[in-house]
């Protein structure tokens, strides 16, 4: 087994939280190591198109300007960045290997980068962000039905403009931001299917008066959409998608406030591509792998790592920051990253407790205003039970193992097998390539119909290594 490289402060993720934590700590004299699976730093919100790829229009100029400032600050002698490096495992350091008690809680990080196959982190920040909340409907597995985020990644990272007619469906502000970006780059967006009503959006928009910059950004996006003549179907959801080799058409229906389809309101739209987004959920796979304790969020139907006021988890010297603590946007993630950067610097003796407390006090004060926005987003993205009326018995829930809705219900309605573990043992749900990223949120929603809230909160899942599909040679490289 190769000997791990010892590092004082390791950050997984180079989004706004990870970058701000690194800059703060590096300026205070801490040696920082950043690991990110993307070829360029910035995370999803600051994802940049490589300079060699021509792009007609700039995507989100405000974000690019913010990132440029971070990009200049990240060039630091105390910061080492390993891009295109995927973390596939996090392990405890064996007690027999530790030199003293302070090292017993060090984490061993395994990556697919030959330069750093194993890293021992004295302090670890997991800033792995979020991923899109899967919302399943009949036909969602047909080629051409993709998440809106993946469409944006192709546009931002490769300058790929989707061909053909595009429908954007779901709910929340990301629909309009993505639509405006696609329009600006010449994509043929033919409609936006918004699950929430126009009245809801008006009410939410008025609440944003306390955040003028966010409100203005939204207004700009809506102006672009209106100018392009793109219809917005408020209070509608996609209830079916059809096509053999690829998607050909979608059926949309009016829905009530609980997303229950209204009778005799269906409409068919011809399309070549559909981008779906019903919000985001914290990525908890790395924190699960690290042994951190989690809480199950009953509003968003996802697991969130437990943490204190300086974002330390239940595991010694393991921290979290950014959207994997809850969806709050880049401003909130940046502040959380700074808080962690200061705390780690204090732990490493680069800052006195008094100075750290003073800095934390101001940052926590700044954070309060953004906590409201976080709660605001949670209201918009809150799961509605009418969703179950869209599913048919044959709707595939677990794509990897091809398990349908009917089969899952039959297992869950039996009290002796009405839990996540039994479902996994009997049907192998969550044991495919995605490790439950697509099916677990939906399964938990289905499970909520059969067990009490108290029992639901006790449910959790097990993460296994490798965290993502990995060539066998990578295991061999680590063991040599």
Please state, in angstroms and rounded to a whole number, the distance separating the CA atoms of residues 338 and 342.
Answer: 6
pLDDT at 205: 82
Q: Which residues contact 129 (CB under 8 A, 6 or more apart)?
A: 13, 15, 17, 43, 44, 283, 322, 323, 324
Q: Which residues contact 457 (CB under 8 A, 6 or more apart)?
A: 295, 296, 298
pLDDT at 479: 67
Transcribe 85-104 into DSSP letters. Answer: --EEEEEEPPGGG-SSGGGT
Dihedral of CA 66/72/76/81: which sign?
positive
- By the 8 A CB rule, do 93 and 108 touch? yes
Would you state the structure tokens that stand for residue 45, as one six-digit string? Answer: 């919100």
Q: Which residues contact 386 (CB under 8 A, 6 or more apart)?
A: 255, 256, 258, 259, 260, 261
Q: How many CB atoms lie within 10 A of CB 311?
A: 23
pLDDT at 350: 95
- Residue appearing with tokens 């219809």: 231
Dihedral of CA 250/255/259/262: which sign?
negative
Per-residue pLDDT of the chain (480 residues; tens, 9 = 90+): 678 899 999 999 999 999 999 999 999 999 999 999 988 887 777 776 666 665 555 455 666 667 777 877 888 899 999 999 999 999 988 655 555 555 457 899 999 998 999 999 999 999 999 999 888 999 999 999 999 999 988 888 788 889 999 999 999 999 999 999 999 999 999 999 999 999 998 888 888 887 788 888 889 999 999 999 999 999 999 999 999 899 999 999 999 999 999 999 999 999 999 999 999 999 999 999 999 999 998 888 889 999 999 999 999 999 999 999 999 888 899 999 999 999 999 999 999 999 999 999 999 998 987 888 888 888 888 889 898 999 999 999 999 999 999 999 999 999 999 999 999 999 999 888 888 888 999 999 999 999 998 898 888 888 888 888 888 887 777 766
- By the 8 A CB rule, do 209 and 218 touch? no
Please state, in angstroms and rounded to a whole number, the distance separating the CA atoms of residues 402 and 445.
Answer: 18
pLDDT at 50: 65
Write down the H helix ranges in 190-347: 198-207, 212-227, 285-289, 330-347
pLDDT at 312: 97
- By the 8 A CB rule, do 327 and 279 touch? yes
Would you state the structure tokens that stand for residue 210, as one six-digit string? Answer: 């306390």
N-term to C-term CA, the chain: 5
Please state, in angstroms and rounded to a whole number, the distance separating the CA atoms of residues 265 and 255.
Answer: 9
Please state, in angstroms and rounded to a whole number, the distance separating the CA atoms of residues 421 and 115.
Answer: 38
Please state, in angstroms and rounded to a whole number, the distance separating the CA atoms of residues 9 and 79.
Answer: 10
pLDDT at 51: 63
Give me the domains of the chain, ranges plus CATH numbers. 5-131+281-379 (3.50.50.60), 134-278 (3.50.50.60), 392-458 (no CATH)
- By the 8 A CB rule, do 400 and 238 touch? no
**Phi-psi domain of 322 (left: phi exceeds 0; alpha: psi -120 through 50; beta: other):** left
- By the 8 A CB rule, do 192 and 176 touch? yes
DSSP class of residue 312 equals: B
- By the 8 A CB rule, do 396 and 403 touch? yes
| Number of residues assigned to the chain | 480
């Amino acid at each position: 087994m190769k000997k791990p490289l010892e590092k004082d402060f390791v950050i997984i993720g180079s989004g706004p939280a990870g970058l701000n934590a690194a800059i703060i700590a590096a300026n205070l004299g801490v040696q920082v190591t950043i690991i990110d699976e993307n070829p360029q730093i910035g995370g999803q919100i600051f994802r940049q198109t490589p300079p060699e790829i021509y792009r007609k229009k700039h995507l989100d100029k405000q974000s690019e300007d913010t990132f440029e400032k971070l990009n200049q600050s990240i060039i630091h002698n105390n910061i080492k960045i390993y891009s295109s490096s995927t973390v596939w495992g996090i392990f405890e350091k064996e007690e027999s290997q530790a030199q003293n008690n302070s090292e017993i809680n060090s984490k061993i990080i395994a990556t697919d980068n030959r330069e750093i196959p194993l890293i021992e982190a004295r302090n670890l920040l997991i800033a792995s962000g979020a991923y899109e909340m899967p919302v399943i409907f009949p036909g969602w597995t047909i080629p051409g039905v993709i998440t809106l985020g993946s469409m944006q990644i192709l546009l931002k990272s490769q300058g790929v403009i989707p061909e053909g007619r595009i429908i954007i469906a779901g709910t929340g502000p990301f629909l309009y931001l993505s639509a405006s970006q696609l329009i600006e780059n010449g994509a043929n967006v033919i409609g936006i299917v918004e699950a929430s009503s126009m009245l809801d959006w008006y009410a939410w928009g008025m609440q944003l008066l306390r955040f003028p910059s966010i409100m203005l950004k939204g207004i700009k996006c809506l102006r672009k959409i209106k100018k392009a003549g793109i219809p917005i179907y408020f209070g509608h959801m996609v209830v079916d998608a059809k096509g053999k080799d690829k998607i050909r058409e979608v059926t949309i229906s009016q829905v009530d406030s609980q997303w229950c389809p209204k009778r005799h309101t269906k409409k068919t739209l011809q399309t070549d591509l559909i981008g779906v987004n019903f919000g985001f959920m914290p990525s908890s796979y790395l924190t699960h792998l690290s042994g951190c304790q989690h809480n199950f969020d009953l509003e968003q139907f996802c697991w969130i790592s437990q943490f204190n006021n300086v974002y330390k988890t239940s595991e010694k010297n393991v921290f979290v920051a950014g959207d994997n603590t809850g969806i709050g946007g880049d401003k909130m993630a940046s502040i959380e990253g700074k808080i962690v950067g200061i705390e780690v610097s204090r732990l490493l003796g680069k800052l006195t407790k008094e100075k750290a407390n003073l800095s934390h006090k101001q940052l926590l004060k700044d954070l309060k205003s953004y906590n409201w926005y976080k709660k605001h987003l949670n209201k918009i993205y809150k799961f509605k039970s009418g969703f179950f009326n869209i599913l048919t018995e044959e709707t595939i829930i677990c794509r990897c193992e091809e398990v349908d809705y009917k089969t899952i219900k039959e297992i869950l309605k039996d009290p002796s097998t009405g839990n996540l573990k039994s479902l996994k043992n009997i049907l192998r749900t969550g044991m495919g390539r995605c490790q439950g990223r697509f099916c677990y949120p939906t399964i938990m929603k289905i499970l909520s119909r059969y067990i009490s809230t108290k029992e639901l909160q006790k449910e959790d899942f097990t993460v296994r290594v490798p965290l993502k599909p990995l060539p066998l040679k990578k295991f061999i490289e680590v063991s040599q």
